[in-house]
Amino acid sequence: CVAGKHFLPSRKLIGARYFYAGYKATNGKMNSTLEYCFPRDSDNHDTHIASIATRRYVFPTSTMGYAKGMAARMAPKARLAVYKICWNVGC
């Protein structure tokens, strides 16, 4: 895994890389205040959703504030590899 600011490898996360050569070729230098130049996404949404899929229990959960509770047995034996290819300006 490629570690970075607020992003550390774990037992569940077996691979994490980012690809930004196309971004730099098209847009120039990346604005580090708006983008993270490592696998974590800047709004934490995708990182959070991906990590939920590999947990044994997820609490609290809800659907748009309704049906609050706990999701059980998502994929406790799963391992996760993430590849970041999309940025604020596109993929």
Phi-psi sector, 44: left (phi>0), alpha (psi -120 to 50), beta: left
Instruction: Report, in angstroms and rounded to the nearest whole number, the Rg of the chain calculated over CA atoms.
Output: 15
Domain assignments of the chain as residue spans, ordered by start: 13-84
How is residue 62 annotated by DSSP? E
* Cα dihedral across residues 2, 39, 12, 10: positive or negative: positive
Per-residue pLDDT tens, the chain, 91 aa: give them.
Answer: 776 666 666 666 777 888 888 888 888 888 878 887 777 776 666 666 776 777 666 667 777 778 788 776 667 777 778 788 888 887 7
- Residue 49 to residue 74: CA distance in whole angstroms: 12
Q: CA dihedral in degrees (91, 2, 12, 59; nearest 10)?
A: -60
